[in-house]
Amino acid sequence: MSFLKEYDSEIFDLCELELERQTDHLEMIASENFTLPAVMEAMGSVFTNKYAEGYPAKRYYGGCEYADKVEQLAIDRACKLFSCKFANVQPHSGSQANGAVYAGLIKAGDKILGMDLSHGGHLTHGSKPSFSGKNYSPFYYGVELDGRINYQRVMDIAKIVQPKIIVCGASAYAREIDFKKFREIADEVGAILFADIAHIAGLVAAGEHPSPFPYADVVTTTTHKTLAGPRGGMIMTNDEDIAKKMNSAIFPALQGGPLVHVIAAKAVGFKYNLSPEWKDYAKQVKANAKILGEVLIKRGYDVVSGGTDNHLILVSFVGSDISGKEADAALGNAGITINKNTVPGETRSPFVTSGIRVGSPALTSRGMKEKEFKLIANKMADVLDDINNTKLQAEIKEELKILAQNFIIYNQSTY
């Protein structure tokens, strides 16, 4: 940081303020995590200077001998981590990876069947504002009022729609995804099965959630979120023909030069994911999310589906005067960072919502366990019980700040 401080003190100061915010607040957005210092070091490495259009041993630039080794190492580690044959580690984001799947496997206007955004899906699963909803013909399945996917209903919808691709995976679904059942649905209608495991990839890697392989034809993920690596995306498959199509879809169709420094960081992250301690981390992520849900239920709050099988919970305020937007703001004032979210039976707009999404990965990375999550859950309930009490919010913020500072983010023993 000393070079940055000397050269651009304005940006340096903002970095310091952001570190302070991350340290003093409790980051509980389900899609956020804290990565290793070694990952950040790789992202700031000399590979940021290198153009490497193409793929290992098939570049359009010279001087790629070490970039080739970096990318191949990332590919090999990814394939080992997820027990697959092919991996493309070049996507700049999960959305870019998803775009490549559509671009490589179907044509504009083809039908896709994905989870409704308001039920826990993702923008790139066919949502109207997204390229996936604009360039293709989207249809949706959702969850029942109990917050769970009804696979027979998905089958019924698929038979009517006859999609080219079925997307399984979610950004706000607290229960296990049954990839085998999705395979059966895809086979019934002759569709490609595309699994987006961005949210659960870290749990899949640790054996704490069923794997989409061998059921899915193609799988995408982000490399941050529960994988705790750098921000980026990845595509995986066991099908050589699909792998070739994915490579072409990423480059030259959708992206230019790969971010070799980020690919290096992905490789570092995968090394962490392959370590024995990763399984312990993933187990703790689930345990922490579970206790979070249990406490909030005990305090009288409606946790969608009655709990969680993964890293997040959804809290529904349907039928109450509290909105997701108000809860988000009140908890933020108390030092707890979450996000408003739509929930089953939603009655408000996506800008207001009737729920919140809360995740455990980031605080678990800081070393917090059930004891801390029980305390945090009760403090959340205290805020929600008296949502307009700004004095209480300020008091809780100071109390939780002390807790947060006892779990330093970048202490290596935390990982």
Q: What is the pLDDT of residues 22-61, one digit of tens each?
A: 999 999 999 999 999 999 999 999 999 999 999 999 999 9
> How far apart, in whole angstroms, are the C-alpha atoms of residue 228 and residue 36?
8
CB 311 within 8 A of CB 323: no
Which residues are known to be catalytic?
A: 51, 53, 196, 222, 225, 231
The DSSP letter of residue 114 is: E
Whose tokens are 């935390």? That residue is 414
Level-2 CATH architecture, domain 40-273: 3-Layer(aba) Sandwich (3.40)
Phi, psi of 400 (to 5 degrees): -75, -25
Burial readout 244-259 (b: 16 or more C-beta within 10 A, e: otherwise): ebbbebbbeebbeebb
Tokens of 50: 């290198």
Tokens of 189: 């209608």
pLDDT for the residue numbered 413: 39
> 336 by DSSP, 3-state: which?
strand
* pTM reported for the whole predicted model: 0.96
CB 175 within 8 A of CB 201: no
> How far apart, in whole angstroms, are the C-alpha atoms of residue 176 and residue 209?
7
Comparing CA positions, the residue from 205, 213, 174, 210 lying closest to residue 272 is 205
Query: How many other C-beta atoms can be found within 10 angstroms of the C-beta atom of residue 387?
Result: 18
pLDDT for the residue numbered 408: 85
- Per-residue pLDDT of the chain (415 residues), as tens digits, is 479 999 999 999 999 999 999 999 999 999 999 999 999 999 999 999 999 999 999 999 999 999 999 999 999 999 999 999 999 999 999 999 999 999 999 999 999 999 999 899 999 999 999 999 999 999 999 999 899 999 999 999 999 999 999 999 999 999 999 999 999 999 999 999 999 999 999 999 999 999 999 999 999 999 999 999 999 999 999 999 999 999 999 999 999 999 999 999 999 999 999 999 999 999 999 999 999 999 999 999 999 999 999 999 999 999 999 999 999 999 999 999 999 999 999 999 999 999 999 999 999 999 999 999 999 999 999 999 999 999 999 999 999 999 999 998 865 433 3
Give domain limits for the chain: 40-273, 284-414
Contacts of 213 (CB under 8 A, 6+ apart): 82, 83, 84, 219, 236, 238
Question: What element of type H or E holds 59?
Answer: strand 58-59
pLDDT for the residue numbered 415: 33
pLDDT for the residue numbered 368: 97
Q: What is the pLDDT of residues 246-268, one digit of tens each?
A: 999 999 999 999 999 999 999 99
CA distances to 102, 149, 355, 377 from 341, in Å:
26, 18, 5, 18
> 194 by DSSP, 3-state: which?
strand
Residue range 284-414 forms a domain whose CATH class is: alpha beta
pLDDT for the residue numbered 1: 47
